[in-house]
Amino acid sequence: MCIEVVEGFVGELQDANLEKDLALALTKATQQLGFDHFALTLESPSSLETAPAVLLHDYPDEWARVYVSFDLAGRDPVRRACDKSMVGFSWQKLERLIPLTRGDRQMLAVGRECGIGDGYTVPRFLPGTTRGTCTFAVAPGQELPKPGLFAAEIVGGLALVSALEICGDAGRPAKAVLSDRQRDCLLWSARGKTAAETAIILGISAETVVQHLKMARERYDVHCRQSLILSALYHGLIGFGDIFGWRARTRSIAALLDS
Amino acid sequence: MCIEVVEGFVGELQDANLEKDLALALTKATQQLGFDHFALTLESPSSLETAPAVLLHDYPDEWARVYVSFDLAGRDPVRRACDKSMVGFSWQKLERLIPLTRGDRQMLAVGRECGIGDGYTVPRFLPGTTRGTCTFAVAPGQELPKPGLFAAEIVGGLALVSALEICGDAGRPAKAVLSDRQRDCLLWSARGKTAAETAIILGISAETVVQHLKMARERYDVHCRQSLILSALYHGLIGFGDIFGWRARTRSIAALLDS
DNA sequence: GCTGGCATCCCCTTTTCTTGGTATATCGCT
DNA sequence: AGCGATATACCAAGAAAAGGGGATGCCAGC
């Protein structure tokens, strides 16, 4: 009953090139899953203080007006809770994630007066790039449709991906691919090592490291190390995971089961 | 057929207080969903550099040994792709997320030789706190179980949440916050400007810029500019949007449908 | 066989960054 | 009134990076 909704949503996203398409698909999925409203936000880090990059919703006008005019986004407890959860959460469980002030409760109450009761919010992050939320809400007095929550998690995530693509992740400049060695040098540089240190680590001459970095800069058409690292990071050639290291305490399942 | 697996997994997680419980639940769900292997990684929330992360898996010993002994985690393309996706992705679509070097392809090939074919990896983030991945893989030559992918997305997310809870200290973001001026200098530095250029832009002395950057480095306890910028980026103090410049847009669905 | 990409090494100069100091003035808070 | 944080400015020594030359092998593709 819910799988079909998700699959239908995926099908509609295939052709979604505009926000309008996404909004329509979300509207449909929201109803099919047993929710009354949806709201999708996607912000770029540069607009931390200002507006989200994308804001789609079918909330009642009244609530939207209140929310925007009082700049409630800045104190929205749901938004705060998003920073505490890797998966979607019901608003009923907000208190398990964050402490709720009186103002927070008041804000939720005002939402109820405007026709927004309980909700399920799906947060997603791309560290250093963007973050977004997709919320599905029901009218006051109604319960969240339990069978629809898993589907909401999927639909919300996919909607955010779609929004990101529509929004302009499409700006994918020419991918300057580095050689493996160039990437190695770049990576150790990103980890804070100097060329000399990198040379020792890689077992090659410092001059060679400098040379690799030099050519890497030429590839990306930048003139300094910071920009090289940031470009490579932005284009996905390296990731934060590479930089900060996942020195893992390794537990194979066999070892766990033996104990 | 898949909903039941997810619900069963949720049920088992209720009582999961140890890594072992989680591992067993994951093993069961993996099989039920039609996958052959799973691997879960979770970076430690407490500190980036030294502290351990969680790594649970039932990969073939051979692959685990190769992966660890050659420090392949440092160049794993799947991990890099995680930094580019808000939802799970099939390894077949790696190239849509990141450029693959020759070494990357080779690494995937070695994985196949060790019994790891295609995979579906679910990345999740809590910016400034932790990050994790949950991968479900099949043997070489086999296709990913399509009906199980949505369920894998849910199971993976829930497994990561569970791992985070088991792991304990889910608190303390403990970000080093910079002063406004320090952030300004940092930002222009990230944009590729030298201290002298930044000084002209901000209308202050070059020495002052150097001083701000110096104190910012102390705050983050790093000793070079690259690490400073990357730390600030990772912790969300600056974003790619600030560096490369994006534009914000706002659309309500009503406005979209009117057009 | 030749060319181009790759990896390795070496030289040089100039610019920039890092690190250690010192110093003044403002602002907010107690 | 004093303390701490902030912002501003300066100096000097040494390390590192940037930008410009070279050079040698190896390997794959045409």
Instruction: Tell me the pLDDT tens digit for each residue of B153-203.
Output: 999 999 999 998 887 654 444 456 788 888 889 989 999 999 999 999 888
Decide if B50 is inside a domain.
yes
Q: Which whole-number Å values give the CA distances from A194 to A185, A200, A212, in the listed order?
A: 10, 10, 13
Covered bases, chain D (protein CB within 7 Å): 5-11, 15-19, 21-22
pLDDT score for B247: 34
Q: What percent of chain B has pLDDT over 90?
A: 37
Instruction: Say how far apart CA B29 and CA B35 lie, in whole Å.
Output: 9
φ, ψ dihedrals at B124, nearest 5°: -140, 145
Q: Are residues B223 and B155 located together in one domain of the fold?
A: no
Same domain as A195, residue A106: no
**More confident call, A215 vs B16:** A215
In chain A, positions 52-111, which contact chain B (CB-CB < 8 Å)? Answer: 52-58, 61, 64, 83-87
Alpha-carbon span A214 to A187, nearest angstrom:
14
Question: Same domain, yes or no, for B113 and B225?
Answer: no
Do B231 and B222 contact (CB within 8 A), yes or no?
Answer: yes
Single out the residue of B15, B248, B34 nearest to residue B147, CA to CA.
B34
Residues in chain A: 259
Q: Is the alpha carbon torsion for B184, B189, B195, B201 positive or negative?
A: negative
Q: Looking at the domain assignment, is residue A252 inside a domain?
A: no
Contact A161/B86, CB-based, under 8 Å? yes
Residue B173 within any structural domain of the chain = no
- Mean predicted confidence (pLDDT) in A211-218: 91
* In a shared domain, residues A185 and A127: no
Distance D2 C1' – A181 CA (angstroms): 57
Does residue A98 sit in the same domain as residue A157?
yes
Q: Can you give the CATH number for the domain in which B71 is found?
A: 3.30.450.80
Strands A130-137, A37-43: pairing kind? antiparallel
**Residues forming beta bridges with residue A252, ordered by sequence position:** B57
Same domain for B135 and B221? no
Whether residues A239 and B132 touch (CB distance < 8 A) is answered with no
The pLDDT of residue B175 is 56
Nucleic strand D contacts from chain A, 142-201, CB < 7 Å: 189, 194-196
Q: Is A250 part of any domain?
A: no
Q: In CATH, what number is assigned to the domain containing residue A196?
A: 1.10.10.10
B57 in the same domain as B19: yes
The total number of structural domains that make up chain B: 2
Cα distance between residue B10 and residue B187, in whole Å: 44
* pLDDT of res. B138: 97
Give the minimum alpha-carbon distance from B161 to chain A in angstroms, rounded to a whole number: 7
pLDDT of B104 reads: 82
Which of B106, B137, B167 terminates a domain? The answer is B167
Supply the range of the domain harboring residue A7. Answer: 3-169
Q: Same domain for B228 and B197?
A: yes
